[in-house]
A and B are shown apart, each in its own frame.
Chain A
Amino acid sequence: MGRKVVLLFLFTLLSVLSLFAPSLSGFQSDELLVDDDEVGQPQSHSQQSSSVTKSDQTVTPSPTPRRKFSDSDSDSKIQFTLEHAFGDSDFSPAGTFSARLKTSAHGGQTLTKLRFSRNAFTDAEKESFKSLVEGDDFYKIRLPSNVLSPPGKDFVVTSVKARCISRETLDEHFVIHTEGVNILGVNYGAPAPCSYPRPAKLPSKWLFNSYTILKNTEQAPRTPLFIQDVLKTGEEGEGEVVAPPERSFWAKYWMYVIPLGLIVMNAVTQAMNMPEEQAPGQPGGGAPAAPGAVQRAPSSAARRR
């Protein structure tokens, strides 16, 4: 018994822990790191930028060491710019995404291996961001809708309340929905919950913690086409149908047993009354019946009340 409790406790602990781990079913690409010398940055002070790698397993984001990636596939490497705006201001560059463009056999192109380098806020931007936090206003970002010929049809814009991403550091989470070389939309926000009312709090460190995920479309589950299956299981299934799960006698026949029991009880009580009544002598009215019949009193209608 005691061992069971311990096991149960361990299991609960495990399940609680596993609940903390983010489960992202549609996760397709891994995350990026900013590397200023590799990616040509328009801004020189991108030195301060920080980036974080995230993967399925890690519970807390941990900074990844810089990595150099090979230049062998540089022909299929593309870059596109993230632009941001503070409230209603104009958009300005805020970072660069770089990704590999994989061309599949039948000509379709998909983006993989997304990397992101975030520019740190300049002092002017910090000021604008502070005013956003004070006014609970929107911090806006945008991406081109086509990565090959930006901006494509239009920019993909999304916004978040500045207070949401302003934590200890600036925490942001991108989910980029792509279709080939097109970007449909970006889910942008803080990785942590941001419930109303939002506290006005400035980050203690002006560092970005960026998580990025590339998401492609999911396949819809196919309509069950199991005509053959049904036929097969039908043949096999007959045997199973013959043996339904065993139920107790009581569960099956209680509805017959109870009335029967009632009748029997009724009869017994009558039978018990009967001998007393018979004892004083032969009844007069309905008594011409044979004594044999009298013996079987319960079945005799004449004797019934």
Chain B
Amino acid sequence: MGTMLRVFLLLLSLLSITAPAFSLYEDQVGLADWHQKYIGKVKDAVFHTQKTGRKRVVVSTEENVIASLDLRHGEIFWRHVLGPNDAIDGIDIAMGKYVITLSSEGSILRAWNLPDGQMVWEAFLQGPHSSKSSLLVPASLKVDKDNVILAFGKGCLHAVSGIHGEILWKKDLEAESFEIQHMIQTSGSDLIHLVGFVGSSQFDSYTIDAKSGELLKHDSAAIPGGYSGQASLVSSSTLVVMDSAGSTVTTISFQDGKVTFSQTPVSTLIEDFVGKAKLLALKLEGVFAVKTGTHTTFVRVTVEGKLEVVDKINHATAVSDVLEISENRQAFAFVHRRSNGIDLTVKLGADWNHDLLKESIKMDQERGSVQKVYINNYIRTDRSHGFRALIVMEDHSLLLVQQGAVVWSREDALASVIDVKTSELPVEKKGVSVAKVEESLFEWLQGHVLKLKGTLMLASPDDMAAIQSLRLKASGKSKMTRDHNGFRKLLIVLTKAGKVFALHTGDGRIVWSRLLNSLRQSETCENPTGLNLFPWHVPHHHALDENPSALVVSRCGPSDDALGLLSFVDTYTGKELSSSSLDHSVVQVIPLPFMDSTEQRLHLLIDASGQAHLYPKTSDALGVFRPELTNVYWYSVEAETGIIKGYALKEKASDDYSFDTRGIWSIVFPSESEKIIKTSTRKLNEVVHTQAKVVADQDAMFKYISKNLLFVATVAPKASGDIGSSTPEESWLIVYLIDTITGRILHRMTHHGAQGPVEAVVSENWVIYHYFNLRAHKYEMSVIEIYDQSRADNKDVWKLILGKHNLTSPVSSYSRPEIMTRSQSYFFTHSVKSIAVTSTAKGITSKQLLIGTVGDQVLALDKRFLDPRRSVNPTQAEKEEGIIPLTDSLPIIPQSYITHALKVEGLRGIETVPAKLESTTLIFAYGVDLFFTRFAPSRTYDSLTEDFSYALLLLTIVALVAAIFITWILSEKKELRDKWR
């Protein structure tokens, strides 16, 4: 009896110790979450020089990342993400130990230590006006034993000391619109030539003494035929320019202070030339390249200034810069695309007919065309020159090619995610037994015994490693079938490159990727950009034999009136099912809550002229849509003019699937006092479980839950700049809650002395927004909760009994809303990049805010901290309800960073997806990096954790049973003995 009690107590105490913890333990990292690092599309690359070892390459990217990559494996050695407004213009290696970057239009020059990426120095370059920038790191130029770095930016030339970043001298060129083209150092002298253009017709050349910054000479001449912005430096004194019509090549020679021009029509170089020719940026001695259509022609400029065609390639080609392989020997590479691979050719600059290297590399079509190539040489084992090439493809991927094979590749399109949607995985087919996929019983038991050892601290380091690897593989989390908890899904990701990826939520691997044909550059569509992803077809009736598909909406250019493109992608296989270019533009896509008989979701596309187009274009869909025509409304926010307009559809269609629309309401913000800076709406798929909120004194408040709630934040136009640009008196922030059906302003509130940037999230019946308080010099977060007063009298029991309540009556936007709002503000320490809120399957679990902090981490903050009912001294009843005493600032608990020690560099968005398990939500944060985790806002109250030790439970039960038997036998024996006595 006593033993039993003791064992029971032991069990109790064990259970109380293992109460679930909010944060992670160290060994739980990576079990449910994954993190992937990317850099973005490479803009420029510099290989390490001879002195610094040859194992690394430094790249700068369009995501403003500078990174050092391992040449063997493509891993990131170090990486720095500069701010979103700090674009890198130039990158080079100085003195064999520093990486020099010029960024922010030539105003910030930084030096990074090559081996570890530590910043060595930073110099701010000032100038009178913005201009193009250029960076030159001369190899042999020294001023007082100090290496000089020359940076041109903001109309000034700066010489900066390479050792400590001091500005040695500065020369203002005093030319208003001088656009620098090249900075040339004549070998063996201290003279620097700057060549560039003023406007589109004037050529300027400056000669400057690099030691003192003295302007020695300035020549200027008008270019006959104009200038198109493309120029190629052929030698240190010759520049080739394409004229503005793209039909004539002008050779400019600027030797000895004389500027001479000679013009050659492109048609004399290239037969059957039509259209516009482009100059390729190529730095090859004596040769320039002209691109016409898909052809690339290499033209040599002879010493006398004559032009002769050297070679012509009939494919889209990328050409590398020149690489000096030995004294006076220059090599360069060009790569062109074949149908099933790429051809890499390396040639010696002087000897055109001889190929140093010619390789064909097999590659699938998914990477598109070759965009950039950088070459690097090495000495082979047989002492000959070998070459490796770093290739940037159309899908933003980065490849290293050596010895005719792809050594490594990086999918850097994933650094520029535009939109994310999830897709369910296939249902587990019958016939495939679960047991076959799961491990055998013995292995299962073995695993649990190992875990038990770990729990009881008996495990050796080897065992610990085995446990960790078991956990990582655990329970088939990367299987390609649905699980009953809904943790396994596919993340369908649309990227800026026009490539769509499917990532598995279990381990983050790329299940498939597809470069959409419709999103590739073509004659008809110059600059396609992806806009949105929508679930198009989600089969429920035929879930076993039909694959779901997604709709990718894009348009041919950045402007609103560019023509739209649609493509449909199978989310299991990634196959592009079909694509179509539309004859109208796409400004807005409205996913309708209707489906046609084949379970395709109806979408309404609004074009720039305000016409609505129904997709899919089938009579079936039209039949579903027509009865609902009068109930479809939408709105547009014109931030520039400060007008929000609401629209409805007209009954009569202009053609079968297009509908005219008409404005039904408008809200006009006075432009002298308000400027729209943020709008936010509820997520369409959000689920609200309870409509009422029971407050402490047994009272109920009804939530005002409307899918048509729009949050708008406006600021004073003066205060729309950066923080600190305006005084508290002249800045204010006004927030609005607007019903988007009728255009009613439900609530309006002014924060005096506050300004943007505003980040906001709308969920259920509340809005939370983040802004800056100029008076308090702090960031603030405010909450507005909206309650419906018109249903408040439903609390009367008699009415409920007599059925006189209006709980079941339909809610209409045309009824006058009687709402009550509650609001409260709190200080918050961080500036915020993005705010999201957790979403669960049924909306029962309490909510947590997910805040993307300035440190690129995701912080979970309980919604209870942002409750307008908080007061300094809550009553006992309120305390029991869970109301936290009011404090003036929101707490930041270090354990509640859901990204734990990781950073999602360049964080741009946080997406939450409910799992099937009510307690759990899936979180995907994206920026330059990707991060995914599973999160239980109120802990996993509805399931045991994955690392729950079943073996321990089993052992305990066995021990208990054994103890019962033993004590029973013992007592029996004793009793017998007593009786015999």
A interface, CB within 8 angstroms of B: 12, 16, 19, 22-23, 25, 88, 136, 138, 140, 145-146, 152-161, 164, 173, 175, 177, 179-180, 182-185, 187-196, 198, 215, 217-227, 229, 233, 245, 277, 283-284, 304-305
Interface membership of B810, Cβ < 8 A: yes
Known: A180-B673, A187-B742, A189-B742. A138 touches B664 (CB 8 A): yes
Residue of B nearest to A182 (CB): B670
Contacts of A194 in B (CB 8 A): 812, 814-815
Interface membership of B126, Cβ < 8 A: no
Question: Is the beta-carbon distance between B825 and A223 smaller than 8 angstroms?
Answer: yes
Given contacts A158-B742, A184-B748, A187-B742, 17 further A-B contacts (CB under 8 A): A138-B664, A157-B663, A157-B666, A175-B745, A187-B745, A189-B742, A190-B816, A193-B790, A215-B745, A217-B748, A218-B750, A219-B750, A220-B825, A223-B825, A229-B872, A277-B978, A283-B981
Most A-side CB within 10 Å, residue of B673, B743, B751, B971: B743
Contact residue among B642, B662, B667, B876 (Cβ-Cβ distance under 8 Å from A88)? B662
Contact residue among B1, B666, B751, B782 (Cβ-Cβ distance under 8 Å from A156)? B666
Question: Is the beta-carbon distance between B670 and A145 smaller than 8 angstroms?
Answer: yes
Q: How far is the CA of A133 from the CA of B815 in the complex (A)?
A: 17
Question: Is the beta-carbon distance between B773 and A223 smaller than 8 angstroms?
Answer: yes
Contact residue among A25, A156, A196, A220 (Cβ-Cβ distance under 8 Å from B667)? A156
B interface, CB within 8 angstroms of A: 1-2, 630, 641-643, 648, 650, 662-671, 673-674, 734-735, 738, 742-745, 747-752, 773, 776, 780, 782, 789-790, 792-793, 796, 806, 809-812, 814-816, 818, 820, 823-827, 872, 876, 886-888, 971, 974, 978, 981
Pick 29 A–B contacts, CB within 8 A, sort by A. A16-B793, A23-B789, A152-B668, A153-B641, A154-B641, A157-B663, A158-B664, A159-B664, A160-B742, A160-B814, A161-B814, A175-B744, A180-B670, A184-B745, A184-B748, A185-B668, A185-B738, A187-B744, A187-B816, A190-B814, A193-B790, A194-B812, A218-B750, A219-B752, A220-B752, A221-B824, A223-B825, A223-B826, A226-B888
Contact residue among B806, B814, B818, B974 (Cβ-Cβ distance under 8 Å from A189)? B814
Question: Is the beta-carbon distance between A157 and B664 smaller than 8 angstroms?
Answer: yes
Smallest CB separation, B636 vs chain A (Å): 13
Question: Is the beta-carbon distance between A217 and B734 smaller than 8 angstroms?
Answer: yes
Smallest CB separation, B31 vs chain A (Å): 36
Residue of B nearest to A24 (CB): B818
Contacts of B668 in A (CB 8 A): 145, 152-156, 182-185
Question: Is the beta-carbon distance between A189 and B670 smaller than 8 angstroms?
Answer: no
Residue of B nearest to A280 (CB): B981
Contacts of A195 in B (CB 8 A): 809-812, 815
Q: How far is the CA of A53 from the CA of B789 in the complex (A)?
A: 23
Contact residue among A136, A218, A225 (Cβ-Cβ distance under 8 Å from B749)? A218
Contacts of A304 in B (CB 8 A): 2
Question: Is the beta-carbon distance between B748 and A159 smaller than 8 angstroms?
Answer: no
Residue of B nearest to A245 (CB): B876
Known: A23-B789, A218-B750, A220-B782. A184 touches B888 (CB 8 A): no
Question: Is the beta-carbon distance between A185 and B812 smaller than 8 angstroms?
Answer: no
Q: Is the interface of B mostly helix, strand, loop or mixed?
A: mixed
Question: Is the beta-carbon distance between B872 and A220 smaller than 8 angstroms?
Answer: no
Contact residue among B673, B792, B812 (Cβ-Cβ distance under 8 Å from A196)? B812
Q: How far is the CA of A145 from the CA of B876 in the complex (A)?
A: 50
Contacts of A173 in B (CB 8 A): 816
Question: Is the beta-carbon distance between B641 and A164 smaller than 8 angstroms?
Answer: no
Q: How far is the CA of A291 from the CA of B669 in the complex (A)?
A: 100
Smallest CB separation, A239 vs chain B (Å): 14
Residue of A nearest to B780 (CB): A223
Question: Is the beta-carbon distance between B743 and A179 smaller than 8 angstroms?
Answer: no
Residue of B nearest to A152 (CB): B668
Question: Is the beta-carbon distance between B744 and A221 smaller than 8 angstroms?
Answer: no
Smallest CB separation, B327 vs chain A (Å): 70
Known: A159-B665, A226-B872, A284-B981. A177 touches B745 (CB 8 A): yes
Q: How far is the CA of A195 from the CA of B816 in the complex (A)?
A: 10
Contact residue among A23, A152, A154, A191 (Cβ-Cβ distance under 8 Å from B816)? A191
Smallest CB separation, A220 vs chain B (Å): 4
Residue of A nearest to B781 (CB): A223
Smallest CB separation, A147 vs chain B (Å): 11
**3 smallest A-B Cβ distances: which pairs?**
A182-B670, A145-B668, A193-B815
Known: A16-B796, A225-B776. A177 touches B748 (CB 8 A): yes
Q: How far is the CA of A251 from the CA of B824 in the complex (A)?
A: 36
Smallest CB separation, B30 vs chain A (Å): 39
Q: How far is the CA of A305 from the CA of B4 in the complex (A)?
A: 13
Q: How far is the CA of A152 from the CA of B641 in the complex (A)?
A: 12
Smallest CB separation, B333 vs chain A (Å): 58
Q: How far is the CA of A155 from the CA of B745 in the complex (A)?
A: 16
Residue of B nearest to A191 (CB): B816
Contact residue among B643, B796, B811, B816 (Cβ-Cβ distance under 8 Å from A153)? B643
Q: How far is the CA of A159 from the CA of B666 in the complex (A)?
A: 9
Question: Is the beta-carbon distance between B793 and A189 smaller than 8 angstroms?
Answer: no
Contacts of A154 in B (CB 8 A): 641, 643, 666, 668
Question: Is the beta-carbon distance between A305 and B971 smaller than 8 angstroms?
Answer: yes
Question: Is the beta-carbon distance between B776 and A185 smaller than 8 angstroms?
Answer: no
Known: A16-B793, A220-B823, A221-B823. A179 touches B674 (CB 8 A): yes
Smallest CB separation, B811 vs chain A (Å): 7
Q: How far is the CA of A188 from the CA of B643 in the complex (A)?
A: 18
Question: Is the beta-carbon distance between B812 and A140 smaller than 8 angstroms?
Answer: no
Q: How far is the CA of A182 from the CA of B776 in the complex (A)?
A: 30
Q: How far is the CA of A180 from the CA of B666 in the complex (A)?
A: 18
Residue of A nearest to B630 (CB): A136
Q: How far is the CA of A177 from the CA of B981 in the complex (A)?
A: 101
Known: A16-B796, A153-B670, A156-B668. A223 touches B776 (CB 8 A): yes
Smallest CB separation, B161 vs chain A (Å): 48
Contact residue among A19, A22, A152, A218 (Cβ-Cβ distance under 8 Å from B748)? A218
Smallest CB separation, B764 vs chain A (Å): 21
Contacts of A16 in B (CB 8 A): 793, 796
Question: Is the beta-carbon distance between A140 and B664 smaller than 8 angstroms?
Answer: yes
Q: How far is the CA of A127 from the CA of B650 in the complex (A)?
A: 21
Contacts of B745 in A (CB 8 A): 175, 177, 184-185, 187, 215
Known: A187-B744, A217-B750, A225-B776. A158 touches B665 (CB 8 A): yes
Smallest CB separation, B90 vs chain A (Å): 45
Question: Is the beta-carbon distance between B812 and A193 smaller than 8 angstroms?
Answer: yes
Known: A157-B665, A245-B876. A146 touches B670 (CB 8 A): yes
Q: How far is the CA of A223 from the CA of B823 in the complex (A)?
A: 10
Q: How far is the CA of A19 from the CA of B776 in the complex (A)?
A: 40
Contacts of B974 in A (CB 8 A): 305
Q: How far is the CA of A160 from the CA of B741 in the complex (A)?
A: 10
Question: Is the beta-carbon distance between A179 and B670 smaller than 8 angstroms?
Answer: yes
Question: Is the beta-carbon distance between A185 and B814 smaller than 8 angstroms?
Answer: no
Q: How far is the CA of A187 from the CA of B886 in the complex (A)?
A: 35
Residue of B nearest to A237 (CB): B873
Q: How far is the CA of A145 from the CA of B643 in the complex (A)?
A: 11
Question: Is the beta-carbon distance between B818 and A22 smaller than 8 angstroms?
Answer: yes
Contacts of B876 in A (CB 8 A): 245
Contacts of B666 in A (CB 8 A): 154-158, 185
Q: How far is the CA of A258 from the CA of B55 in the complex (A)?
A: 72
Known: A157-B663, A190-B814. A225 touches B888 (CB 8 A): yes
Smallest CB separation, A187 vs chain B (Å): 4
Question: Is the beta-carbon distance between A185 and B816 smaller than 8 angstroms?
Answer: no
Contacts of B886 in A (CB 8 A): 224
Residue of B nearest to A141 (CB): B665
Most B-side CB within 10 Å, residue of A190, A192, A224: A224
Contacts of A190 in B (CB 8 A): 814-816
Contacts of A220 in B (CB 8 A): 735, 749-752, 782, 823, 825
Residue of B nearest to A226 (CB): B888
Contacts of B872 in A (CB 8 A): 224, 226, 229, 233
Residue of A nearest to B1 (CB): A305
Contacts of B796 in A (CB 8 A): 12, 16
Question: Is the beta-carbon distance between B749 and A223 smaller than 8 angstroms?
Answer: no
Most B-side CB within 10 Å, residue of A16, A183, A217: A217
